[in-house]
C-alpha cells in the first residue's frame, strides 16, 4: 500500500495533466496514424514525441503561472524572458514532433492519397 504522500502526489499530477491549458493534445495525429497501418516502432516514436510536447506544455504552463504569481500583475523584463523562453521550448518540441510526424506519416499518407 502506498503512503498518503505518494497518492496525493499522483493525484495532483493527474489533475495537472487534465487541467492543462491547451487541452488539444495529439488526438488528431493519433487518429490519422491509426488509419495508416504504422509499425510498432513508428507508433512508439509518435507517442514519444507527443509526450514530449505535452510535457513541455505542462512545464510552460507551470512556469507562466509561477511567474504571474511572483510578479503580482507587473511584468518584469526578466519575468517576460522566462515566459518567452519556456514558450520557445514548447515551440522547439512541437517543431521536432511535427518533423517526426511528417517523416513517419508522410509516405503512407501520400500513397493513400495518390492511389
CA–CA dist 65, 23 (Å, integer): 16
The b/e string for 55-75 (b: 16+ C-beta within 10 A; e otherwise) is ebbbebbebbeebeeeeeeee
Return the C-alpha cell found at 49. 514525441
Active-site residues: which are they?
57
**72: which residues sit within 8 A by CB, 6+ positions away?**
none
**Closest of 1, 6, 41, 47 to residue 26, by C-alpha:** 47
Amino acid at each position: 500500500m502506498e503512503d498518503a504522500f505518494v497518492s496525493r502526489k499522483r493525484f495532483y499530477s493527474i489533475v495537472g495533466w487534465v487541467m492543462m491549458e491547451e487541452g488539444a493534445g495529439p488526438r488528431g495525429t493519433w487518429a490519422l496514424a491509426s488509419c495508416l497501418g504504422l509499425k510498432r516502432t513508428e507508433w512508439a516514436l509518435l507517442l514519444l514525441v507527443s509526450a514530449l510536447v505535452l510535457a513541455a506544455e505542462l512545464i510552460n504552463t507551470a512556469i507562466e503561472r509561477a511567474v504571474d504569481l511572483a510578479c503580482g500583475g507587473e511584468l518584469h523584463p526578466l519575468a517576460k524572458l522566462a515566459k518567452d523562453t519556456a514558450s520557445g521550448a514548447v515551440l522547439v518540441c512541437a517543431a521536432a514532433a511535427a518533423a517526426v510526424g511528417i517523416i513517419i506519416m508522410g509516405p503512407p499518407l501520400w500513397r493513400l492519397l495518390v492511389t
